[in-house]
Amino acid sequence: MSEKPVAMIGHSALAQSDLRYSALIGAATLLLSVDLALAQDTSFGQRLFQDKADCQFCHGINGDGRGDPRSPGRAANLTETHLDRDQLVEVIACGRPGTEMPHFDKYAYEDTDCYGLKGKNLGNDAARDPHSTSLTRREIEAVADYILAKFVGK
Ligand code: HEC
């Protein structure tokens, strides 16, 4: 007779921990799917960095600035960059006039304002065209996110 209430208490405590457990699983599943979504984003950026835009030719596969010996060299070490996301997007879109860093926005300095400059009135200092291909805005942002996720501070 005295065992029944004990069993009931035990049962309701169990039910409560079951509830907490499933809440935990729910949270973990949510985190996992957010993680997967992010992982997908950086794999897109990675493909652009390594293949389509061929950033690695100059910056190296690890972004440390040690690219192919045939590259023009002196590419920035992206693990040490102090640029924020907006600034990364601008450099990738606009390149660096007067350096080997090409502009990946096809319309840079034409339709797109770059460092407050419009019109290719930079003469020989104009940012170069890429040896690979230009990128869309979405692709430029994906590469910037890839750099932030995989290189900066690593
Ligand atoms: C032809 C070689 C070359 C290619 C290709 C190239 N870069 Fe660069 N990049 C450079 C050089 C050189 C610099 C340094 C410019 C300078 O001296 O300011 C640079 C600078 C940068 C910077 C500025 C870093 C900082 O902290 O100032 C970023 C970001 C960058 N590159 C990203 C990219 C990305 C992303 C790609 C591909 C979409 C790419 N680069 C392709 C040569 C290249």
Find out whether 53 and 143 touch, Cβ atoms under 8 Å.
Answer: yes
Give the pLDDT confidence of 39-84 residue by residue, as tens digits.
Answer: 556 899 999 999 999 999 999 999 999 999 999 979 999 999 999 9
pLDDT for residue 23: 76
DSSP codes of every residue in 56-72: HHHH-TTSSS---TTS-
Q: What is the span of the domain harbouring residue 23? A: 6-150
CA–centroid distance, residue 116 to ligand 1 (Å): 19
Give the pLDDT confidence of 7-37 residue by residue, as tens digits.
Answer: 555 556 656 767 777 777 777 777 666 666 6
Ligand 1: does its nearest atom lie under 6 Å from the Cβ of 68?
A: no
Does residue 54 belong to any structural domain of this protein? yes
Find all residues with CB under 8 Å of 113, minimum gap 6, and list them.
Answer: none
Does residue 102 belong to any structural domain of this protein? yes
Does residue 1 belong to any structural domain of this protein? no
How many angstroms separate the CA atoms of 27 and 68, rounded? Answer: 44
Does residue 80 belong to any structural domain of this protein? yes
Give the pLDDT confidence of 95-151 residue by residue, as tens digits.
Answer: 999 899 999 999 998 887 888 877 656 777 788 999 999 999 999 999 999 999 999
Find all residues with CB under 8 Å of 151, minimum gap 6, and list them.
Answer: 62, 63, 64, 78, 79, 81
Does residue 10 belong to any structural domain of this protein? yes
Does residue 79 belong to any structural domain of this protein? yes
Does residue 27 belong to any structural domain of this protein? yes
Q: Ligand 1: which atom is nearest the Cα of residue 82? A: 26
**Residue whose CA is at the smallest distance from ligand 1 atom 39:** 55
Give me 44's structure tokens: 């897109």
Ligand 1: does its nearest atom lie under 6 Å from the Cβ of 140?
A: no
Helix and strand counts by DSSP (H, E) for the chain:
4, 0
Ligand 1: does its nearest atom lie under 6 Å from the Cβ of 104?
A: yes
Q: Ligand 1: which atom is nearest the Cα of residue 88? A: 29
How many angstroms separate the CA atoms of 132 and 109, rounded? Answer: 19
pLDDT for residue 139: 97
The total number of structural domains in the chain stands at 1
pLDDT for residue 27: 75
Separation of CA 50 from chain center: 13
Ligand 1: does its nearest atom lie under 6 Å from the Cβ of 59?
A: yes
DSSP codes of every residue in 142-154: HHHHHHHHHTTT-
Does residue 49 belong to any structural domain of this protein? yes
Find all residues with CB under 8 Å of 69, minimum gap 6, and list them.
Answer: none
Find out whether 89 and 141 touch, Cβ atoms under 8 Å.
Answer: yes
